[in-house]
Amino acid sequence: MKFLLLLCLAANLAAQLKKPILLELFTAEGCASCPPADELISAVDRLQPIPNADLIVLSEHVTYWDHSSKDRFASTTLNNRQLGYSQLLKLEGVYTPQLIIDGKYECVGGNGPEAKRLILEALKQDKPLLELNANRVNGKLLTNVSFFGLSGATILVAIAEDNAETKITKGENSGKTLKHTAVVRALHTIGTAEGLRTDRTVELPLPPIASSFRIVAFIQDSKTGHILAAAQVKL
């Protein structure tokens, strides 16, 4: 029993020592180039292939392929988020699949070697520890985030569905069954960091989710878009 406890403590400590890197995949069920990127992000989440990195993934579905195949996970909020990155990163426009790494770097979503290179680059940035706790209470989600510093930065919480699956009947992906990892179902801005230590508890509505889900909290510099801290809990 003691050994098990020590093992748990060691695992917890190891997880904390790993630096969190937020990977946001902008994707769509109607986009023919996206399934390989969806598979890549899923493998990254499962295998955690980079030592010292805690790779936190989010699949963010955009609506601009909805004319070919209606994507039930897509939202204009996420279109705007991608557009915001496009402007911050001084790109000519948006595309899918696009991977944004820590709000700072971008590459084609299915390009594993390039993603790895950029993740290693992102690992050079120091990050404060973000503590995140989330519990279901009366059909809602009680979420607490706390961290030191980062005054003025925006605090965001994503509710993301795991093991989501869609059988596609229209568009270029017709006939495929697409599996998604950490599909963003809701994205909430819950405030800004203030003073030396921020400790914020909020009650969030829980979207209708069929399977398991995760909560991802991250702190984002509103001017540069850089992710300054991140954490996740799976429920």
Partner 1 sequence: MRTLLLIAATLAAQTPNLNPITWALSTQPGKLVLHAKIAEHYKLFSPTKSTPGPIPLRVKVLESRWLRAAKPLASTDSHTLTGETDITIPYTLRRKLPNDGLTVHVEVEYQSCSDQICLPITRRTLEAKLLPANPVL
Q: Is the dihedral of CA 140, 164, 54, 58 positive or negative?
A: negative
DSSP, res 72 = T
Torsion of CA 157, 161, 167, 170, to 10 degrees: -10
Minimum CB separation of residue 102 from partner 1 in Å reads: 17
**The Cα angle at residue 76 between residues 63 and 41, in degrees rounded to 5:** 60
Look at the block and give the residue holding tokens 């809990």.
Answer: 233
Check binding of 167 to partner 1 (CB under 8 A): no
The nearer residue to partner 1, 98 or 198, going by C-beta atoms, is 98
Residue from 225, 214, 94, 213 nearest 153 by CA:
225
The nearer residue to partner 1, 95 or 148, going by C-beta atoms, is 95
Look at the block and give the residue holding tokens 């989010």.
Answer: 58
Total Cβ atoms within 10 A of residue 24:
29
Number of amino acids touching partner 1 (CB under 8 A): 29
Check binding of 31 to partner 1 (CB under 8 A): yes
The nearer residue to partner 1, 107 or 150, going by C-beta atoms, is 107
Q: Which of 21, 55, 60, 97 binds partner 1 (CB under 8 A)?
A: 97
Q: Which of 44, 56, 107, 182 binds partner 1 (CB under 8 A)?
A: 107
Minimum CB separation of residue 94 from partner 1 in Å reads: 6
Check binding of 68 to partner 1 (CB under 8 A): yes
The nearer residue to partner 1, 122 or 132, going by C-beta atoms, is 122
Q: Which residues touch 139 (CB under 8 Å, ≥6 apart)? A: 206
Q: Which of residues 133-162 bind partner 1 (CB under 8 A)?
A: none
- Per CB under 8 A, residues contacting partner 1 are 30-34, 64-65, 67-69, 91-98, 107-111, 114, 170-174
